[in-house]
């Protein structure tokens, strides 16, 4: 065959044409993945979202002070006055990996710029790693399909664009790498190489969980795979020591990382790994002790365990006699588990995945993954199946089912559904391609060619469809979004410097020992870019502090001022998104509601434990007179309610709220800088002062008036 044509020989290695084809396709996957991820740089070369700013500051601390100092670091700019023990509450491996790669490859570049590019590189390299994994499972063709599909997977792209210096890009890279090393080690015929790979898999399992706690969900399919492995493999003498080696290689390094040792080893993740390993060894011993019906006895043993284990978990949910994980991990295992904690519910990435979102995220891959399952089962039944072994078939199906299952709870976990769908779709495409492109005899060659060409064209069209359709919601359009700090996370696709200017003002115009109060969303920005202490941040470590801030915002100004002083706050920051309308009026008029604190106030009220109807009208967003006149937040918003307008007929107006109408506002600063109220407005971001039709990104910094005398 032409593909096996030898091009160059280097020692015992022969470089063939198919090797160049593999390199070319992997290069294409990396390049496409890279280009899609860097699109947001058009809006501004900045870190994206909130957590990356703390991760950058933590990496900077390692670069400036060394690893030993970092492990002892108590961050006094977080959670004032408590501080934060960084090594026990952070993704330590993310910070260590970034600092180490910066020392090696940084080449004198600015660390901030380096961390902006960090997720792009590791996210794109993951396409190569998933190729290696799927190649071990189902062959080179399946591996190449998986690399290409991974490079354009929407759930993965939106969680790893440029500037997304968060857990997922490195976490998924390590997670896929450890899975590859584990599966490759189990499949390796060379026991010495297998041992090294299994030890490496264990170490990278620890690394992956330290980089992103969500990687514990890789343990679910791995644990289930271990349980059924004795029924699928005959080489029990090998797997009886190989699997314990992997488990030990995971547990032992975990003891050296505080957050992993406490959250993984003594949680459901560690127990799942330990118990599944013990079950594997027990099943093998039972089979070997049985004189006959070995397979049946092993199967009955595992069936009993699968019946008993869920019962234990149900009982444990009430009695808690076993270690329990946090609600979000338990919720991923039990999608029917609900929470009454509004703080958990307020996080957008904790939203439950809808059916429409799943179809949007996975598009035609859902078809190919379903087709893959059907073709695999069909080929097994027909005994026409020689490209995947029984154990790898079981692993693929387990990975596929568990990935889709855990992702049904949180939108953030759709990355696991994506990996599952990619693996199954790659196997399905491989079987389908083999059937259509297999060699035929001479008499059927014209007919075969007639079938092959439409097949290839059809597959290309199907796989390219998400890249161009639907218009505006295609993959390139969805991934081309502004960094959060450029639009405040608002619903407007704009790029402004309002947040950067505000944080720079805080840094240069407030005393260094100042404490800035704000909603927890902006804590990392204040401590990293503003270099000032914040009361709460995105790590949400102390729920009571966040609840106190929420109460402060919706409390009356006098009580709120007392709360701010008790929290030792010197400044208070609020963020408002508005839109100036093209109305012909003496003064500019605005609508509020685009993702700022004006949109988050329902969550403030819920988290504070108060009644929504007291503050909001029946639409759930428009503030009542009580909100605007009696709460500190209402007084901090520099707008005054004018009335309500029918959006379908601007001449239909009302001075009071009517269902279906929208509120109209004009500018009104209630706490001016020269006033004697509880707060004084000392800074308003540039967009607020620009009177032009369109979005307004307004950040307002108030100084707490220490001389204010509360009115009794």
If pLDDT is split at 50, 70 and 90, which confidence band does 524 have? very high
Q: What is the dihedral of CA 378, 383, 386, 390, to 10 degrees?
A: 80
DSSP 46: S
If pLDDT is split at 50, 70 and 90, which confidence band does 301 have? low
If pLDDT is split at 50, 70 and 90, which confidence band does 83 have? very high
Give dist(CA 327, CA 318) in Å, integer: 14
What's the burial of 33, exposed, middle or buried (CB within 10 Å: 0-12/13-18/19+)?
buried
Q: Specify the higher pLDDT residue, 28 or 313.
A: 28
Cα–Cα separations (whole angstroms), residue 157 to 36, 128, 259, 358: 8, 15, 27, 15
Q: Specify the higher pLDDT residue, 444 or 379.
A: 379
Q: What is the pLDDT of residue 347?
A: 57
Q: Specify the higher pLDDT residue, 381 or 110.
A: 110
Cα–Cα separations (whole angstroms), residue 653 to 289, 413, 485, 619, 667: 85, 45, 36, 17, 19
Give dist(CA 694, CA 75) in Å, integer: 40
- For the cut 60, the answer to whether the pLDDT of residue 68 exceeds it is yes
pLDDT in tens, 314-358: 445 445 555 555 555 555 555 555 455 565 655 555 556 666 666
Rounded to the nearest 5 degrees, what angle is found at the Cα of 207, between the Cα atoms of 309 and 265? 35
Closest Cα partner for 625 from 614, 633, 636? 614
Q: What is the pLDDT of residue 447?
A: 47
Instruction: Note whether 238 and 198 are within 8 A (CB).
Output: no
Give dist(CA 230, CA 249) in Å, integer: 21
Q: What is the pLDDT of residue 70?
A: 96
If pLDDT is split at 50, 70 and 90, which confidence band does 648 have? confident
Give dist(CA 589, CA 668) in Å, integer: 11
Contacts with 311 (C-beta within 8 Å, 6 or more apart), sequence order:
none
- For the cut 50, the answer to whether the pLDDT of residue 629 exceeds it is yes
Closest Cα partner for 47 from 113, 100, 105? 113
Q: What is the pLDDT of residue 303?
A: 63
- For the cut 90, the answer to whether the pLDDT of residue 384 exceeds it is no
Q: What is the pLDDT of residue 471?
A: 61
Q: What is the pLDDT of residue 175?
A: 96
If pLDDT is split at 50, 70 and 90, which confidence band does 271 have? confident
DSSP 549: H
Q: What are phi and psi of 85, to 5 degrees?
A: -80, 100
Q: How many residues does the chain have?
A: 712
Give dist(CA 160, CA 17) in Å, integer: 33
Q: What is the mean pLDDT of residues 501-517?
A: 97
Query: Which two three-digit tokens encode residue 235?
Result: 């080489």
If pLDDT is split at 50, 70 and 90, which confidence band does 306 have? low
Give dist(CA 45, CA 42) in Å, integer: 8
pLDDT in tens, 240-259: 999 999 999 999 999 888 88
Q: What is the mean pLDDT of residues 137-157?
A: 91
If pLDDT is split at 50, 70 and 90, which confidence band does 264 have? confident
- For the cut 90, the answer to whether the pLDDT of residue 687 exceeds it is yes
Residues of 663-697 as b/e, b for ≥16 C-beta within 10 angstroms? bbbebebbbeeeeeebbbbbbbbebbeeeeeebbb
Average pLDDT, the chain: 85
Q: What are phi and psi of 74, to 5 degrees?
A: -110, 110
């Amino acid at each position: 065959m032409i593909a096996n044509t030898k091009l160059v020989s280097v020692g015992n290695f022969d470089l063939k044409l198919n090797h160049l084809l593999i390199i070319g396709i992997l290069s294409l996957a990396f390049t496409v993945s890279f280009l899609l991820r860097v699109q947001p740089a058009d809006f501004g070369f900045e870190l994206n979202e909130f957590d990356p700013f703390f991760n950058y500051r933590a990496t900077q601390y390692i670069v400036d002070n060394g690893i030993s100092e970092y492990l002892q670091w108590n961050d006094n700019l977080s959670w004032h006055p408590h501080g934060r023990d960084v090594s026990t509450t952070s993704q330590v491996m993310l910070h260590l990996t970034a600092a180490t790669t910066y020392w090696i490859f940084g080449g004198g570049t600015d660390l901030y710029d380096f961390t902006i590019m960090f997720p792009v590189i590791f996210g794109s390299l993951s396409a190569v790693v998933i190729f290696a994994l799927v190649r071990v499972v189902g062959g080179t063709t399946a591996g190449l399909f998986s690399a290409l599909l991974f490079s354009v997977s929407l759930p993965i792209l939106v969680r790893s664009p440029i500037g997304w210096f968060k857990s997922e890009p490195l976490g998924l890279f390590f997670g896929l790498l450890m899975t590859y090393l584990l599966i490759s080690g189990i499949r390796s015929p060379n026991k010495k190489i297998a041992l090294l790979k299994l030890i490496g898999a264990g170490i990278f399992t620890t690394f992956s969980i330290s980089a992103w706690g969500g990687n514990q969900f890789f343990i679910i399919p791995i644990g289930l795979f271990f349980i059924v492995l004795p029924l699928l493999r005959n080489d029990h003498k090998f797997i009886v020591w190989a699997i314990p080696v992997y488990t030990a290689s995971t547990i032992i390094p975990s003891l050296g990382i505080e957050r992993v040792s406490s959250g993984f080893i003594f949680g459901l993740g560690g127990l799942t790994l330990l118990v599944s390993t013990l079950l594997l060894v027990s099943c093998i011993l039972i089979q070997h002790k049985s004189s006959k019906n070995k397979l049946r006895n092993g199967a009955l043993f595992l069936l009993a365990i699968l019946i008993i284990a869920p019962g234990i978990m149900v009982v444990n949910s009430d009695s808690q006699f076993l270690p329990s994980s946090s609600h979000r991990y338990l919720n991923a295992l039990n999608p029917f588990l609900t929470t009454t904690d509004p703080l958990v519910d307020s996080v957008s990435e904790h939203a439950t995945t809808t059916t429409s979102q799943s179809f949007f995220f996975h598009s035609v891959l859902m078809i190919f993954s379903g087709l893959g399952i059907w073709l695999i089962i069909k080929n097994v039944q027909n005994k026409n199946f020689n490209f995947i072994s029984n154990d790898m078939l079981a692993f693929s199906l387990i990975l596929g089912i568990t990935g889709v299952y855990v992702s049904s709870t949180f939108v953030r976990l759709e990355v696991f559904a994506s990996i599952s769908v990619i693996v199954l779709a790659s196997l399905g495409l491989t079987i389908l391609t083999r059937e259509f492109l297999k060699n035929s005899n001479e008499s059927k060659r014209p007919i075969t060619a007639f079938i092959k060409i439409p097949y290839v064209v059809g597959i290309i069209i199907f796989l390219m469809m998400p890249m161009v359709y639907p218009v505006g919601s295609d993959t390139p359009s969805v991934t081309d979004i502004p960094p959060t700090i450029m639009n405040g996370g608002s619903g407007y696709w704009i790029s402004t410097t309002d947040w950067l200017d505000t944080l720079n003002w805080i840094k240069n115009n407030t005393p260094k020992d100042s404490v800035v109060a704000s909603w927890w969303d902006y804590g990392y920005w204040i401590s990293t870019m503003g270099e000032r202490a914040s009361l709460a941040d995105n790590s949400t470590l102390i729920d009571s502090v966040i609840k106190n801030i929420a109460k402060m915002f919706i409390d009356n100004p006098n009580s709120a001022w007392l709360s701010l002083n008790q929290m030792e706050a010197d400044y208070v920051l609020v963020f408002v998104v508005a839109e100036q309308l093209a109305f012909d009026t003496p003064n500019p008029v605005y609508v509020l509601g685009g993702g700022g604190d004006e949109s988050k106030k329902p969550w403030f009220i819920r988290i504070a434990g108060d009644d929504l109807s007291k503050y909001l009208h029946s639409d759930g967003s428009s503030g009542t007179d009580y909100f605007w006149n009696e709460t500190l937040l209402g007084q901090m918003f520099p707008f005054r309610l004018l009335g309500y307008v029918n959006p379908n007929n601007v001449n239909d107006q009302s001075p009071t709220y009517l269902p279906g109408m929208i509120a109209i506002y004009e500018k009104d600063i209630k706490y001016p800088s020269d006033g004697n109220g509880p707060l004084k407005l000392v800074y308003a971001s540039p967009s607020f002062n620009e009177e032009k039709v369109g979005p307004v990104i307004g950040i307002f910094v108030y100084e707490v008036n220490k001389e204010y005398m509360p009115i009794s």
